[in-house]
């Protein structure tokens, strides 16, 4: 596949960049944060994004979407990363859409996909139960009960879990924590009896939730995919999410870097811009190299998801492993090169530092993905 | 029994009798420490008693001469005192920039009267000091500072602005660099003065940090009167004092981070939070490799500290070596805190009650300032290249 964007993709990138700059700049993020908004994103922005076809960017046309594909979703995510835009894009437009479009029954597709594209309903995916990502270790129990199932257990770090209308919960129907077999995906109404949601404010002021399920009852038609066979679909869904996060992190890295270069070219000490010191120039040039690589590996990962490549996981793991590190480095170097200013809330660089830690942690941090690559290469 | 053994036994006994129970938890964070000062509210009766008892012994500043509030202890005795305090987890009775920074500068450059006036209140924790060096236009290039002190005979009138003044809003007094000669070369027109933060014309404005807290301020001086008796060292010789103090500060910062291996190791924390595999190893091979590398660095660094401290004791003048310590110690501390965040995963990325309101991430964010405060890492490396390696200029 070509590593160049086509014309439509270039246009989408420009449109996203222009729109977010205008409607969701970093100052909007600050306002939202300082207003202690419980939702953590703007509903107005979300409906505008829906009107432009971005919310349904992965939804097939017959269900009202724009079917632009994962590269397009990544372009939007990257621009959102630059502007620190918070929205349910990852959870609804990427994770839930992938779940329904690739693994949903016809009835589920017809019911949910149009509601995604229109911006009417929000979704969340609940996977992790501990502080570190471990999809195979899912232990939240789903037991048969009448015609359906009863679910009990806990989930954590559920992006947009507090605002979603529907939650997709990965649960264990057989086997034990650590087995890839025996996992099943259940769709439930966010207002189900026994589903308790606690919103948590993260260090980057994004919102996620902890869920506690006590005998939540669902019908058999709430299952997405096959009983006990949820692990592979979950991996496919997560890979789309990881590629999207890599794109967002690339955007964060890029903007953190640009802000920093602009600052050191302005800031004078010893009568000259500090950017004129070779000590900083070399590190800026190094970061540029890393960020170029981050962009390339992200695009490769996005394309592999689009291509339904059976090795897609390798490229998404590579992207998450590499970009996670690059974004952290860009933010760390950014703070350092800002000097004291980098420690202040008034400058944006610290916001990127916090954001990349959270996005980097989600669905496997750089070490987790690097370990997977080592396993795949058998060393 | 040797004198030192007698001293050890007596110290142990005294500490055991006098250190209140709630001051024995080994806490060392900025949040738990006693800062002292006019407006200090003790967090407990124990904290108050501990400060009073230690101050009465001169043990808040054990090496300072007795007449200035210390106990005049030798290096060996001080080490014994510290070891015995550590053995029972005793907190420092109090700590602030008066003890760690101004004190050493005054002991070296102050007159007898200045020492008598300023050191005992520091020792007793009655006055809290802040450091007024950096200005908006003078950070790494500190010597370009422009806060102006006009000579009015028996006093100066000070005008200008400082920035990043840690705890200026809580401090009682400031030690401050001001320009007394605008015509001289930049290092040669600076003076070192002391004044009360309650003096007319001093205002502070807290700066909000990325961690959400506001420990430092912009500090403004508008026609502030400073008595000449509060000029330390000679007029226009303030840079000598500042340089001495910075060297001291850097060595100290390096030391603080070199001595952190005493608590739980990163490996222990990871084993308990992430879990272990069948062979008892941290259950993430890559993270384990990073953790062990960090421990190797910390342990090696503590041996370097030991060797530097012995060389200093033997009378070697170390100067720029403090930059070696400052650079390595702070960069290492940043790496350790990145690893703590990695270990903690999503649990430590929340602001919540369960994790002490995000204390680990606040600490992580705070460490980013370590390689900036007291002179940035880049500046330290420059000093090493120039003054230790004597490399040529560009
Ligand atoms: C937590 C904290 C507490 C502090 N407390 C105090 C305090 O109590 N009192 C006080 O007076 N000050 C305090 N400071 C200020 C501190 O001393 C300054 O921030 C520091 O000296 C750097 O100055 P600056 O912020 O102006 O950065 P700048 O000097 O503007 O530096 C910006 C960047 O340029 C780099 N740079 C500058 N010159 C060179 C060069 N020649 N070669 C290569 N790179 C270079 C720097 O390393 C940095 O990365 C504190 C700072 C922090 C972060």
Residue B191 Cβ < 6 Å to ligand 1: no
A171: β partners:
A184
Asked whether the predicted pLDDT for residue A107 surpasses 70, the reply is: yes
> How many residues make up chain A in this entry?
379
Residue B134 Cβ < 6 Å to ligand 1: yes
A153 in the same domain as A82: no
- Is the CB of B345 less than 8 angstroms away from the CB of A354? no
pLDDT of residue B258: 65
Q: Which two tokens stand for residue B154?
A: 């028996």
Q: Using an 8 Å CB-CB cutoff, list chain A residues near B369.
A: 340, 343
Work out the minimum CA distance from B170 to partner chain A, whole angstroms: 19
pLDDT one-digit tens code per residue, B230-280: 999 999 999 999 999 988 888 787 777 766 555 688 999 999 999 999 888
A295 in the same domain as A237: yes
Q: Which CATH number fits domain B240-388: 1.10.260.40, 3.50.50.60, 3.30.70.1140, 1.20.140.10?
A: 1.20.140.10
Residue span of the structural domain in which A36 resides:
7-121
Which long-range contacts (C-beta less than 8 Å, at least 24 apart) are formed by A62-69? A63/A101, A63/A109, A63/A110, A63/A113, A63/A114, A63/A117, A64/A113, A64/A114, A64/A117, A64/A118, A65/A97, A65/A113, A65/A116, A65/A117, A66/A117, A68/A8, A68/A12, A69/A306
Q: Which of A211, A228, A245 finishes a domain?
A: A228
A319 in the same domain as A192: no
Mean pLDDT score of chain A, rounded to an integer?
A: 96
Start-to-end CA distance of chain B, whole Å, equals 60
Residues of chain B with pLDDT under 50: none
Give a three-class secondary structure readout of A270-339: CCEEHHHCHHHHHHHHHHHHHHHHHHHHHHHHHHHHHCCCCCHHHHHHHHHHHHHHHHHHHHHHHHHHHH
Question: Can you tell me the distance from the alpha carbon of A239 to that of B224, in angstroms, rounded to the nearest whole number?
Answer: 63
User: Token pair 């650079």 is at which residue?
Assistant: B327
A351 in the same domain as A288: yes
Q: Which two tokens stand for residue B148?
A: 């102006």
In a domain, A254, yes or no: yes
pLDDT of residue A305: 94
Q: Domain tally for chain A?
A: 3
Pick from B141, B349, B372: which is nearest to A203 by CB? B349
- Is the CB of B346 less than 8 angstroms away from the CB of A361? yes
Tally DSSP H helices, then E strands, for chain B: 12, 9
Integer-rounded Cα Rg, in Å, for chain B is 22
pLDDT of residue B316: 83
Asked whether the predicted pLDDT for residue A121 surpasses 90, the reply is: yes
* A131 phi and psi angles, rounded to 5 deg: -70, -25
pLDDT one-digit tens code per residue, A3-14: 888 999 999 999
Q: How far is CA B394 from CA A139, A283, B144, B377, B386, in A?
A: 62, 18, 21, 19, 11
Give a three-class secondary structure readout of B285-349: HHHHHHHHHHHHHHHHHHHHHHHHHHHHHCCCCCCCHHHHHHHHHHHHHHHHHHHHHHHHHHHHH
- Is the CB of B368 less than 8 angstroms away from the CB of A336? yes
In a domain, A2, yes or no: no
- Is the CB of B346 less than 8 angstroms away from the CB of A328? no
Mean pLDDT, residues A27-51: 93
Q: Using an 8 Å CB-CB cutoff, list chain A residues near B137.
A: 268
- Is the CB of A201 less than 8 angstroms away from the CB of B351? yes
Q: Which atom of ligand 1 is nearest to the CA of B167?
A: 8
* Chain B CA closest to residue A347: B210
> Could you give the ipTM of this predicted complex?
0.96
In a domain, A21, yes or no: yes
A222 in the same domain as A108: no
DSSP state of B385: I
Active site residue B249: yes
Question: Can you tell me the distance from the alpha carbon of A96 to that of B95, in angstroms, rounded to the nearest whole number?
Answer: 54
Question: Can you tell me the distance from the alpha carbon of B168 to that of B202, in angstroms, rounded to the nearest whole number?
Answer: 10
Residue A147 Cβ < 6 Å to ligand 1: no
Q: Which is the CATH superfamily of the domain at B3-123?
A: Acyl-CoA dehydrogenase/oxidase, N-terminal domain (1.10.540.10)
pLDDT of residue A1: 64
In a domain, A307, yes or no: yes
Give a three-class secondary structure readout of A158-213: EECCCCCCEEEEEEECCCCCCCCCCEEEEEEECCCCCEEEEEEEECCCCEEEEEEE
A254 in the same domain as A197: no
Q: Which two tokens stand for residue A361?
A: 């942690």
pLDDT of residue A244: 98
Q: Which two tokens stand for residue B156?
A: 């100066």
Residue B133 Cβ < 6 Å to ligand 1: yes
The contacts of residue A149 (CB under 8 Å, 6+ apart) are A142, A143, A171, A173, A186, A217, A218, A220, A222
pLDDT of residue B212: 87
CATH number assigned to the domain comprising residue A128 = 2.40.110.10
| pTM of the predicted structure, to 2 decimals | 0.95
Q: Using an 8 Å CB-CB cutoff, list chain A residues near B209.
A: 343-345, 350
Q: Domain locations in chain B?
A: 3-123, 129-236, 240-388
Residue B375 Cβ < 6 Å to ligand 1: yes
Q: Which two tokens stand for residue A24?
A: 């969701």
CATH number assigned to the domain comprising residue A367 = 1.20.140.10
In a domain, A367, yes or no: yes
Q: How far is CA A260 from CA A9, B140, B216, in A?
A: 28, 17, 22
User: Token pair 């850097």 is at which residue?
Assistant: B250
Q: Which two tokens stand for residue B324?
A: 């070696």
Q: Which of A228, A253, A270 finishes a domain?
A: A228
Work out the minimum CA distance from A114 to partner chain B, whole angstroms: 32
A130 in the same domain as A117: no
Q: Does A130 touch chain B (CB under 8 A)?
A: yes
- Is the CB of A203 less than 8 angstroms away from the CB of B344? no
A210 in the same domain as A275: no
User: Token pair 């479009």 is at which residue?
Assistant: A101
pLDDT of residue B1: 67
Question: Can you tell me the distance from the alpha carbon of A268 to that of B133, in angstroms, rounded to the nearest whole number?
Answer: 18
Question: Can you tell me the distance from the alpha carbon of A330 to that of B345, in angstroms, rounded to the nearest whole number?
Answer: 20
Question: Can you tell me the distance from the alpha carbon of A247 to that of B224, in angstroms, rounded to the nearest whole number?
Answer: 54
Query: What is the Cα B152 distance to its own chain's centre?
Result: 34
- Nearest alpha-carbon partner for A307 in A71, A61, A57, A55: A71
> How many residues make up chain B in this entry?
394
CATH number assigned to the domain comprising residue A35 = 1.10.540.10
pLDDT of residue B263: 67
DSSP state of A5: -
Q: Using an 8 Å CB-CB cutoff, list chain B residues near A128.
A: 346
In a domain, A69, yes or no: yes
Question: Can you tell me the distance from the alpha carbon of A243 to that of A254, in angstroms, rounded to the nearest whole number?
Answer: 16
pLDDT one-digit tens code per residue, B127-162: 999 999 999 999 999 999 999 999 999 999 999 999
Q: How far is CA B93 from CA A125, A182, A210, B27, B262, in A?
A: 51, 58, 41, 11, 20
Work out the minimum CA distance from B379 to partner chain A, whole angstroms: 10
pLDDT of residue B306: 87
Mean pLDDT score of chain B, rounded to an integer?
A: 93
Residue A146 Cβ < 6 Å to ligand 1: no
User: Token pair 């500290």 is at which residue?
Assistant: B305
- Other beta carbons within 10 angstroms of residue B376's beta carbon come to 21
pLDDT one-digit tens code per residue, A337-358: 999 999 999 999 999 999 999 9
**List B77, B84, B135, B249, catalytic entry:** B249
A371 in the same domain as A273: yes
B196: β partners:
B173
Question: Can you tell me the distance from the alpha carbon of A244 to that of A249, in angstroms, rounded to the nearest whole number?
Answer: 9
Which contiguous run of DSSP H or E holds residue B192? strand B190-196
DSSP state of B219: E
- Is the CB of A361 less than 8 angstroms away from the CB of B350? no
Q: Which two tokens stand for residue B355?
A: 């994790």
Q: Which of A86, A121, A156 finishes a domain?
A: A121
Residue B373 Cβ < 6 Å to ligand 1: yes
* Chain B CA closest to residue A370: B286
pLDDT one-digit tens code per residue, A143-183: 999 999 999 999 999 999 999 999 999 999 999 999 999 99
**What is residue A49's three-state secondary structure?**
helix
User: Token pair 């017959």 is at which residue?
Assistant: A62
Distance A143 CA to ligand 1 centre (A): 59
User: B129-236 domain in CATH 3.20.20.70?
Assistant: no
pLDDT of residue B260: 58
Q: Using an 8 Å CB-CB cutoff, list chain A residues near B344.
A: 131
Helix residue spans in chain B (DSSP H): 3-18, 45-57, 75-87, 97, 103-109, 112-123, 238-258, 266-274, 285-313, 321-344, 359-367, 377-383
pLDDT of residue B259: 60
A16 in the same domain as A35: yes
In the structure, what pLDDT confidence band is assigned to residue A310 with cuts at 50, 70 and 90?
A: confident
Q: Percentage of chain A surpassing pLDDT 70?
A: 100
A239 in the same domain as A145: no
In a domain, A96, yes or no: yes
Pick from A336, A351, A370: which is nearest to B371 by CB? A336
A266 in the same domain as A166: no
């Amino acid at each position: 596949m070509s590593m160049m964007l086509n014309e439509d993709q270039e246009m989408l990138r420009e449109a996203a960049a222009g729109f977010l700059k205008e409607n969701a700049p970093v100052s909007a993020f600050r306002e939202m944060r300082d207003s202690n908004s419980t939702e953590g994103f703007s509903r107005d922005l979300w409906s505008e994004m829906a009107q432009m076809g971005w919310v349904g960017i992965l939804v097939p046309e017959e269900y009202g979407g724009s079917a632009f594909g994962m590269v397009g979703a990544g372009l939007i995510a990257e621009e959102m990363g630059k502007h620190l835009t918070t929205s349910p894009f990852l959870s609804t437009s990427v994770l839930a859409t992938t779940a329904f479009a690739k693994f949903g029954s016809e009835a589920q597709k017809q019911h949910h996909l149009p509601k995604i594209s229109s911006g009417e309903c929000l979704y969340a995916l609940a996977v992790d139960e501990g502080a570190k990502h471990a999809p195979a270790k899912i232990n939240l129990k789903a037991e048969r009960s009448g015609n359906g199932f009863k679910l009990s257990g806990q989930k954590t770090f559920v992006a947009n879990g507090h605002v979603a209308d529907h939650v997709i919960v990965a649960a264990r129907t057989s086997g034990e924590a650590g087995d890839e077999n025996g996992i099943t995906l259940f769709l439930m109404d966010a207002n189900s009896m026994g589903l308790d949601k606690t919103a948590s404010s993260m260090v980057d002021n994004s919102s996620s939730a902890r869920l506690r399920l006590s005998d939540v009852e669902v019908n058999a038609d709430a299952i997405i995919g096959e009983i006990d066979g949820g692990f592979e679909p979950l991996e496919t869904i997560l890979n789309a999410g990881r590629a999207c996060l890599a794109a967002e992190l690339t955007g964060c890295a890029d903007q953190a870097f640009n802000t920093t270069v602009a600052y050191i070219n302005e800031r004078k000490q010893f009568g000259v811009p500090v950017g004129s010191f070779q000590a900083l120039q070399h590190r800026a040039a190094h970061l540029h190299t890393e960020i170029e690589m981050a962009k390339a590996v992200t695009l490769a990962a996005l394309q592999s998801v689009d291509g339904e490549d059976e090795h897609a996981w390798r490229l998404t793991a590579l992207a998450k492993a590499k970009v996670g590190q690059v974004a952290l480095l860009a933010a760390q170097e950014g703070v350092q090169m800002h000097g004291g200013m980098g420690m202040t809330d008034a400058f944006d660089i610290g916001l990127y530092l916090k954001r990349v830690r959270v996005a980097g942690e989600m669905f496997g941090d750089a070490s987790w993905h690097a370990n997977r690559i080592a396993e795949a290469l058998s060393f | 029994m040797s004198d030192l053994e007698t001293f050890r036994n007596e110290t142990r006994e005294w500490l055991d009798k006098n250190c209140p129970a709630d001051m024995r938890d080994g806490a060392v964070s900025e949040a738990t420490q006693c800062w002292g000062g006019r407006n200090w509210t003790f967090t407990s009766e124990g904290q108050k008693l501990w400060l009073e008892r230690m101050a009465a012994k001169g043990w808040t500043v054990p090496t300072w001469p007795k007449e200035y509030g210390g106990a005049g202890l030798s290096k060996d005795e001080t080490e014994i005192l510290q070891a015995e305090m550590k053995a029972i987890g005793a907190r420092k009775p109090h700590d602030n920039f008066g003890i760690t920074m101004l004190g050493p500068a005054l002991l070296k450059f102050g007159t007898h009267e200045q020492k008598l006036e300023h050191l005992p209140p520091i020792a007793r924790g009655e006055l809290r000091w802040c450091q007024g060096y950096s200005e908006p236009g003078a950070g790494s290039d500190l010597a370009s500072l422009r806060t102006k002190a006009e000579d009015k005979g028996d006093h100066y009138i000070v005008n200008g602005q400082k920035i990043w003044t840690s705890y200026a809003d809580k401090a009682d007094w400031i030690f401050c660099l001001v320009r007394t000669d605008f015509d001289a070369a930049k290092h040669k027109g600076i003076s070192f003065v002391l004044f009360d933060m309650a003096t007319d014309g001093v205002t502070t404005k807290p700066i909000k940090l990325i961690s959400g807290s506001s420990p430092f301020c912009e500090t403004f001086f508008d026609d502030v009167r400073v008595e000449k008796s509060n000029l330390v060292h000679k007029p226009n010789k303030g840079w000598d004092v500042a340089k001495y103090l910075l060297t001291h500060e850097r060595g100290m910062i390096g030391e603080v981070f070199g001595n952190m291996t005493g608590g739980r190791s990163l490996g222990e924390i990871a084993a308990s939070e992430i879990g272990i595999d069948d062979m008892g190893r941290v259950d993430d091979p890559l993270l384990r490799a990073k953790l062990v590398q960090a421990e190797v660095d910390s342990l090696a660094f503590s041996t370097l500290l030991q060797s530097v401290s012995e060389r200093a004791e033997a009378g070697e003048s170390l100067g720029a070596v403090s930059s070696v310590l400052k650079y390595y110690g702070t960069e290492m501390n940043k790496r350790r805190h990145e690893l703590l965040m990695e270990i903690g995963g999503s649990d430590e990325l929340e602001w919540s009650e369960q994790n002490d309101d995000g204390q680990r991430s606040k600490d992580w964010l705070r460490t980013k300032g370590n390689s900036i405060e007291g002179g940035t890492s880049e500046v330290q490396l420059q000093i090493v290249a120039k003054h230790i390696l004597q490399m040529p200029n560009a």
